[in-house]
Chains A and B, each alone.
Chain A
Amino acid sequence: MMLDFWQFTKGYVRIEVTGFTVERFINMAAFRNIYLWDVRRVESGVQLNVSIRGFKMLRMCARKTKCKTKIVEKNGLPFLAHRYRRRKVFFGGVLFFFAGLIALSMFIWQIEIEGNDRISHDTILTFLENEGLYSGALKMRLNDDSIRDAILQNFDEIIWADVYTRGTRTQILISEALPVPEVFDRQTPVHVVASGEGLITGIATAAGAPMVRQNDVVREGDMLVSGILELDPENPGSTLVYVHADAEVWARRFHSLNFTVELTYETKIFTGRTTRQRTLDVLDFRINLPGGGNNFESYDRITTYNQVGARGNYPLPVILTTEHFSEFTPGSRTRTSDEARLLAESMVTSRIIREFDFGVDIVSRELQFSETDDILHVRALITTHERIDRQIPITVPTPAQ
């Protein structure tokens, strides 16, 4: 089998030899070390295979033995190459394909990270980027073990990692250490003080001596539950005990938000004319695609990036950036006072959501408006029901030695 393949690549011909002394012809050829194979008798003479080089030497034997040789078949690479010699572009293409394949497989295209739940993909990916491992990185410069060591060194919460590159894909498996349990400090003596002024609506003391009752009004910093206790309450002045006071104190508080809403305001009036500018980033260099260009003096720009193959599993470092410009002319619009008040309402809601944290209940809110020429002044009075207990450490006087 290998012999045929070798003969094929060298190229061989099948010839027919006619004449009286065919045997002598064969003997002479064999004697001259010309390899003949598949010699068969045909009516007029003999057919046999011989390599191209061998055939050239046979010519001389044929003359000597007065035999005639006729080529019956030609096969093998040389003949094919000769026949398709004008197809250079085709073979160029084939070559380009293999060259491209080899070139592309010298890079890392896909990075897979598994096993991380507290550390996000992005943090690891950006870290890897500094280590030189990114989609499109040259494989020669990378070494699995050094990346693994870098990961272990850099992330303390990663206790085990394995980096494994196969082909153009690097797989990173990591496992994180168990989260450190949050330690609640119960020992240091503390007081519970008010974190803001308000009317107390309820107090539930777990430890320490409560100093306030329901419906008391307190100001920020007032003592709610004291961490210093009399050991023997009957006779004051006895030894003191320092305790870690702990209590849940609810209070009603009042907040006011002040802001303004302009009646005539600057806005963008879109002229509807839009242009688009697209650029293609391949690895590090950027190609500006034709079309677009932007000669508006004031415009809104919306930029969208999409990476080739990003959804599939082969994200290539080819990013098409499309910038969409829509022109506008600055102009001013007026709002009626009703519109302004509606806007004020929504602004108050968004500020409440932003500024008050989750545990705070909004009891009521009331908006007061006052209009001066062009601006609506808004004052929002908000009553809330929230916890105001905050622990502060007690400075324990060290007993005199």
Chain B
Amino acid sequence: MQFKLKERAAGFFSLPKEVALDLPLLTATGRGELSIENYRNLLEFSAEKIRIRTRDGVVVVTGEGLALGQITTENVIVKGKISGVLFHDA
């Protein structure tokens, strides 16, 4: 219930949802770059699979020659040949 209330409030005030509800914002530019903002931390990092925890579960990025273009406290940029992006429950 509490989540619904905050969501409606955000909608009402037209606040960006990911900021209000601390949700991850994934921005993919083609297959080569995926930027994940509002992440919690990096669970696993390998050339084929990257798992990142977010408040809304775990994001799994699979592909070849994956690398982290950049990593800062707010966002992570995954680069490489991305073949899949999955959401798992924590």
Interface residues of A (CB under 8 A from B): 22-23, 26-27, 29-31, 33, 35-41, 46, 48
**Contacting residues, chain A, for B42 (C-beta < 8 A):** 23, 26-27, 30
Using Cβ atoms and an 8 Å threshold, which residues of chain A touch B68?
26, 36-39, 48
Chain B residues closer than 8 Å to A30, beta-carbon distance = 41-42, 71-73
- Asked if B69 is at the interface (CB within 8 A of a chain A CB), the reply is yes
* A41 touching B46, Cβ below 8 Å: yes
What mask results when residues 51 to 79 of chain B are scored 1 for a CB within 8 Å of chain A, else 0?
A: 00000000000000011111111000000
Select one of B47, B67, B71 contacting A26, CB under 8 A: B71
Most buried by B among A22, A33, A37, A46: A37
B45 touches A22 (CB 8 A): yes
B contact face: mostly helix, strand, loop, or mixed? strand
Instruction: Indicate if B43 sits at the interface (CB-CB under 8 A).
Output: yes
A38 surroundings in chain B (CB, below 8 A): 67-69
* B41 nearest CB neighbor, chain A only: A27
Q: Decide yes or no whether B44 CB sits under 8 A from chain A.
A: yes
For chain B, give the interface size range. 10 to 19
Within 8 A of A (CB), among B9-59: 41-47
Whole-angstrom distance between the alpha carbons of A46 and B68 in the complex? Answer: 10
Q: Are A39 and B71 in contact (CB under 8 A)?
A: yes
Alpha-carbon separation in the docked complex, A217 to B88 (Å): 137
Are A23 and B45 neighbours in the complex by a CB distance under 8 Å?
yes
Complex Cα–Cα for A129 and B68 (A): 68
Closest chain B CB from A80 CB (angstroms): 25
What's the Cα separation between A23 and B42 when bound, in Å? 6
Q: Is the CB of A23 within 8 A of B43?
A: yes
Bound together, the chains give a CA A37 to CA B79 distance in angstroms of 11
Q: Which residue of A lies closest to B46 (CB)?
A: A41
**Alpha-carbon gap, A46 to B45, bound state (A):** 9
Residue contact B73 to A39, C-beta cutoff 8 Å: no
Nearest CB in chain B to that of A3: its residue = B70
Min CB–CB distance A345 → chain B (angstroms)? 101
Contact check, B73 vs A31: say whether CB atoms are below 8 A apart.
yes
Pairs across A and B, CB under 8 Å, 22 listed = A23-B41, A23-B43, A23-B44, A26-B68, A26-B71, A29-B71, A30-B41, A30-B71, A31-B73, A33-B72, A35-B70, A35-B72, A36-B71, A37-B69, A37-B70, A38-B67, A39-B67, A39-B71, A40-B47, A41-B45, A41-B46, A48-B68
Assembly CA distance A19 to B47 (angstroms): 17
**CA gap between A48 and B67 in the complex, in Å:** 10
